[in-house]
Amino acid sequence: MIVSFVMTLFLILFFLWPLVQEMERRDALLLNATLSNNATQFVSEEWLRAGGVLVNSTEDEELKGAARPVQPDWSLVLGTFHHTKDENFEEFLISAGLSFFTRTIILSTSPSVTFERVFQDDDDYYDLPGDNYPDVKYWDGEGGGGWGYEKDKKFQVVLTTSSIVTLKQRFRLGHPFTKQDYDGTPSKNTLTFVAPNVLYHFKEKEHVNTSIYHNFDQEGLITTIISGRTGMQARRHFRREEDV
């Protein structure tokens, strides 16, 4: 009887101990991240106030519902980028409430991301569901364009993320779209350029909004993620794939 009780207690402790350790580790990481995050900001409040966040236009009826355009530097934006390292990312996922299992899957992958453009006269262009917003006056950036509709080429941006699985996200700049997130809940998303080399992604959910900045340069891509609920920030670094 005593032996059976001891064995049962041992089995319970054997299976519960990793969970206890994980909970203690989670609390410690969250506390450290919260304290350190106040000391170091990847994106400063001064930069945000200076125009880092682009708001929807209310002055021009023609552009209402779409962001006022900043012309991108496509030579920096287009291409494939390979993940190299993270800063404060696990702590960010913990603060977001992701389970240990989900965090383990995310942190065990080293994704690649590819940014492409698809023009209206391309074979693989198709209209997006729910996209009833007026055209944003971006020009194609390849020897023509301007600001008139008759000269602009309508296009979509295709963002492909490859890790365990390959996911494609197609959108038009400045045009909100809804998608299902990893947790099965919907989010409203709008992506627009706030500088020629900075693509801003605003994600709206029922309980929390998230700001994501993709900053491109000749070397690669730095993605900064900011929680609208806690202000916590994380960074993911990507190396540009060299042309063969």
Alpha carbon 12 to chain centroid distance? 40
Joined tokens for residue 111: 């994704």
Residue 2 resides in a domain: no
Could you identify the residue written with the tokens 């930069």? 47
Residue 118 resides in a domain: yes
- What is residue 60's predicted lDDT score, i.e. its pLDDT? 40
How far is 33 from 104, CA to CA, in rounded Å? 18
Domain that holds residue 80: 40-240
- What is residue 143's predicted lDDT score, i.e. its pLDDT? 39
Task: Check if the beta carbon of residue 176 is closer than 8 Å to that of residue 189.
Answer: yes
Residue 27 resides in a domain: no
Partnered with residue 188 across adjacent β-strands are 178, 204
Could you identify the residue written with the tokens 């001064």? 46
Could you identify the residue written with the tokens 């006269």? 121
Q: Which long-range contacts (CB under 8 A, 24 or more apart) does 143-147 make?
A: none
Q: Which pTM value belongs to this model? A: 0.74
Residue 231 resides in a domain: yes
DSSP letter assigned to residue 151: T
Residue 29 resides in a domain: no
pLDDT digits over 53-75, tens only?
443 333 343 434 444 568 899 99
pLDDT tens, per residue, the chain with 244 residues: 666 655 665 556 566 666 656 766 766 666 565 556 554 566 665 555 444 444 333 334 343 444 456 889 999 999 999 999 999 998 888 887 777 788 888 888 899 999 999 988 888 888 777 666 656 555 544 434 444 333 467 888 999 999 888 888 899 888 888 888 776 788 999 999 989 999 999 999 888 889 999 999 999 999 999 988 888 899 999 999 987 5
Residue 30 resides in a domain: no
Helix, strand, or coil here: 192?
strand
Residue 188 resides in a domain: yes
Q: Which helix (H) or strand (E) holds 23?
A: helix 2-37
Could you tell me the CATH number of the domain that includes residue 54?
A: 2.40.128.20
Instruction: Look at the chain and report how many structural domains it folds into.
Output: 1
Residue 32 resides in a domain: no
Task: Check if the beta carbon of residue 174 is closer than 8 Å to that of residue 66.
Answer: yes
How many CA within 13 A on the CB side of residue 161?
10
How far is 168 from 180, CA to CA, in rounded Å? 13
* Dihedral of alpha carbons 199, 41, 225, 46, sign: negative
- What is residue 87's predicted lDDT score, i.e. its pLDDT? 93
How far is 66 from 70, CA to CA, in rounded Å? 12
